[in-house]
Structure 1
Amino acid sequence: MTNIAALRKSYERAELNEDASHADPLKQFEQWLKEAIAADVPEPNAMTVATVASNLRPSTRVVLIKGYDERGITWFTNYDSRKGQELAGNPFAALQFHWVELERVVRIEGVVEKVSAEESDAYFHSRPLDSRIGAWASPQSQVISGRGVLVANAARYGAQFLLNPPRPPHWGGYRLKPDNWQFWQGRKSRLHDRLRYSLQNLSETNEQLWTRERLAP
């Protein structure tokens, strides 16, 4: 049996300090994402999405980020999936990016809402044809008798829609609006760098301000 407790790695690639980091967490995220892409990190756009069901049991899955701006982080999926059902009951979620080769982690928390139908339509019609058919063919998170169900569904919807499948009513985008970011950079001796950005609401001016703090690793 492999002794996984004995696995060790020393993190020594980079550092993260308050002076060199951006005051705006979105700019810090953009910098790190661009660096992950430039470094040819495998699937730098892959992120874990964590949701919580009504019975308070959490669940996670990996999805692909499809956009980010001052409004938040966007991805697309089946609204009838487990994550869709859990977000319908509890709109709070957490995201995590792990760029192993760069020894970096980004954690993001906030509230999630659906994007507009127009935004979902635009992205759906930009996808390859087989992906658009797949959105119709897969009853995501439901029990099926075998892979043949998916193949048969794909053939049926392909014949029905030909080259122009419409966006399914059960498929579209979500956007998480962050109120908490954490940036983690691995360091030697397990004394990692960890910066947290928290969104503060200033009641007097109705402004929002990000505060940056260092956390013990």
Structure 2
Amino acid sequence: MSETTNIALPSMRVSYEQGSLTEGDLAASWHEQLQLWLDQAAGAGLPEPNAMVLATSDTEGRPSSRTVLAKGLDARGLVFFTNYTSSKSHDLMATRYASATFPWFAMQRQAHVRGTVEKVGAEETARYWESRPRGSQIGAWASPQSRVVTGRSTLESALNKIERQFADSDRVPVPPHWGGWRIRPEEVEFWQGRRDRMHDRLRFRLGRDGWDLQRVAP
């Protein structure tokens, strides 16, 4: 029997000392600030700086989370693309609410977005679809996302079938079951780690008269 080493979870800790975040540091709007931090994460060479943990729940309140890639950002909200038959899309169609977290661990930062969701329009979806590599387009047609399959060979067979289907086509069309979701934020929080766990948490919150800026205790 091989020996194993238990990770001492209680003793694992990092002192966050890379920066601070004050009200004066923030951009004028949540989307400008989020774009700034995304740009800085990309400039720092972080892998997948646009990766975010998307959380949804079903109609019984049971949560699910997974990592997706943000592919659009403006004053309207934050966009990602997926299969509309996936588990997350079923949740979103049922509850119309989601949250997303950007975990930039190397920069000791996080950003949290929470709000209602809506489907992205066909024109915007088509523009993004055209930017995807052909292999990713084929994969979107072939994968019955979130469904149980009998094995890897089932997926490979489906992929080969779609490759043959579009072999003579220069363009692969957008599948009818695929498209974008936009999170329309009600709250966007920017989190910067600080010493002694006294972190900076600044939150844009949408109210009746527009966006308010709040400081939240760590």
TMscore range, shorter length: over 0.9
TM-score w.r.t. length of structure 1: 0.95
Structure 2: runs of 5+ lacking an equivalent: 1-5
- Does 2:200 match 1:199? no
Tell me the amino acid that sits aligned with residue 23 of structure 1.
A
Q: Give the distance between the partners of 2:165 and 2:29, measured in 1 at CA.
A: 48
Q: Give the distance between the partners of 1:153 and 1:125, measured in 2 at CA.
A: 22
Runs of 4+ in 1 over 3 A off after TM superposition: none
Shift of 1:35: 0.6
Q: Give the distance between the partners of 2:28 and 2:162, measured in 1 at CA.
A: 49
Q: Give the distance between the partners of 2:214 and 2:91, measured in 1 at CA.
A: 31
Q: Do 1:23 and 1:210's aligned partners in 2 also have CA atoms closer than 8 Å?
A: no
Which residue of 2 is the match for residue 40 of structure 1? 45
> What do you get for the CA RMSD once the two structures are aligned?
0.9
Shift of 1:20: 1.8
- Could you report, residue by residue, the CA deviation over 1:152-201 in whole angstroms, capped at 9, with x for unpaired residues? 01110110112432111100011111110111000011111011110112
- Could you report, residue by residue, the CA deviation over 1:57-106 in whole angstroms, capped at 9, with x for unpaired residues? 01001000101001110110000000010111011100100101100000
Which residue of 2 is the match for residue 183 of structure 1? 190
Taking only the aligned residue pairs, the percentage that are identical comes to 45
Q: Do 1:114 and 1:174's aligned partners in 2 also have CA atoms closer than 8 Å?
A: yes
Query: Which one of 63, 68, 73 corresponds to residue 58 of structure 1?
Result: 63
Q: Give the distance between the partners of 1:146 and 1:125, measured in 2 at CA.
A: 30
Q: Give the distance between the partners of 1:81 and 1:63, measured in 2 at CA.
A: 13
Which residue of 1 is the match for residue 72 of structure 2? 67
Q: Give the distance between the partners of 2:30 and 2:76, measured in 1 at CA.
A: 13
Which residue of 2 is the match for residue 206 of structure 1? none
Query: Which one of 145, 150, 155 corresponds to residue 145 of structure 1?
Result: 150
The 3-state SS of whatever aligns with 1:37 is: helix
Shift of 1:23: 3.3
Which residue of 2 is the match for residue 205 of structure 1? none
Shift of 1:118: 1.3
Shift of 1:125: 2.1
- Could you report, residue by residue, the CA deviation over 1:28-47 in whole angstroms, capped at 9, with x for unpaired residues? 11111111010001110100
- Could you report, residue by residue, the CA deviation over 1:119-160 in whole angstroms, capped at 9, with x for unpaired residues? 112211221111000001110000001111111011101101
Which residue of 1 is the match for residue 216 of structure 2? 215
**Pairing of 1:95-174 with structure 2 (within 5 A):** 95-162=100-167, 163-174=170-181
Q: Give the distance between the partners of 1:8 and 1:149, measured in 2 at CA.
A: 43
Structure 1: runs of 5+ lacking an equivalent: 203-208
Aligned residues: 211
The 3-state SS of whatever aligns with 2:79 is: strand
Q: Give the distance between the partners of 2:162 and 2:171, measured in 1 at CA.
A: 11
